[in-house]
Amino acid sequence: MVDNALTTMQRQVLDRIGGEAVFIVFASNGAASDAYFVSKAPVRGFEKLVRGKNPVFVVNAVMRICGICHAAHGIASTEAFEDAMGVSPPRNGRLLREAIGLINRIQSHLLHLTLLLPDIYPRDELLGFTVKTIKLYNKATELLGILGGAPTHPPYLVIGGVAKTPSDKVIVKIMDELEKFNEEFVALREDVERKALESPRIKPLLEKEYYPEMLATHLFYGDRFNINPSKIRVVRYEEYRGGNVPKEAEENTSMIALYEDRIVEVGPRARLSIYKGFDGKTLWDLQLARFMEVEIDVLQINRLLERIDPHDESSTKLLTYRPGKGLGVYEAPRGVLIHRVELDDNGRVSDYKIIVPTMFNIPHMEIGVKGLPSSIADLVPRIYDPCIPCATHVVEVDRNE
């Protein structure tokens, strides 16, 4: 039982994460005993905005939900529309789409690393390693521009596949660049891991074991047949917490996603645990999983590019607009991402629903911090790398209604 006389409440405004959030931490004798992750981002209403719209517009629109995992949303959306319309991309289209998604994953992991570096490096070393990480991020971004048509929100992602097939010359260039990229990344990773062992802020993460139930659908892409989407339930934050939350937490704009009414962790550690036997059980292992993913994703991109036939089509040219329901499941950088769509008799969107990885992971940020020094509580949300704009789904119109 917590001694109330020794319990304090800290309101930590979270920085170096994707979006706006506050971490309300209750501490006893300097150790966190409870926490509330409160999203502060305003609702933009993409699920409502796309109703009545043409599917081609919708794919481009939902990529704008996020400036980090843009391609992930594009892929999940195209998969949902293809399921609803009975469309199958040609072989090239599927291979290129997977490669585009993995480059986006690498982008995201590197961007997250730049946000984590100040917790690892002393001030006099921080700038140099931040520059190295940003240079690697820029290389990944250039490759996405080549394969996807733009460094963000890649326009080559289309219903039916990918709009443009790279030439032999371009494929060779990308593979050469990936080889150089991997050499530089491995050197950076080794230094970061070594420095993390010396960091007083990271040390508690190295010692804190937290390994909840994991959920993932695929190592590289996404497979709707590897989960039962009907078992996912989305609830209001207050419902998940049992209704008894601090006043500020009542303003939370995020929902919580449960699988079979249980909390599950999604993301890099879940993917590697389920499909590669990764057994990292500490909070720091969340970051080690990202490092491992970058390296295996580079190898996978090369394997995909080797199978591309530059002389074949990469997209289905004929789309039939018709009524239907579709589901897209994709492994975004942060984990399982789901897009559901319903089309009316004119083939336009009548309903659209999105479930994002951060909605699964919010409970783990709150539970994982327990027992850690409250002075480093902000590290736990940061190590989970939440994406607040993606998870923002709630707006209160009138509390008195």
pLDDT along the chain (401 residues), means of 10: 62 92 95 94 85 96 93 98 96 98 98 97 96 97 97 97 97 97 97 96 96 98 96 94 87 92 98 97 98 98 97 93 97 98 97 96 97 97 92 51 39
Within 8 A by CB and 6+ apart from 56, the residues are: 158, 159
Overall size of the chain counted in residues = 401
For residue 126, list its beta bridge partners: none
Specify the CATH class of 4-391 in words.
mainly alpha
Give the per-residue pLDDT at 393. 57
Give the per-residue pLDDT at 45. 85
On whether the CB atoms of residues 266 and 338 are closer than 8 A, the answer is no
The Cα–Cα gap between 150 and 163 comes to 12
Give the per-residue pLDDT at 187. 97
Burial class (CB in 10 A: 0-12, 13-18, 19+), 65: buried
On whether the CB atoms of residues 121 and 111 are closer than 8 A, the answer is no
Give me the helices (H) in 197-284, please: 203-207, 237-240, 268-276
Domain ranges of the chain: 4-391
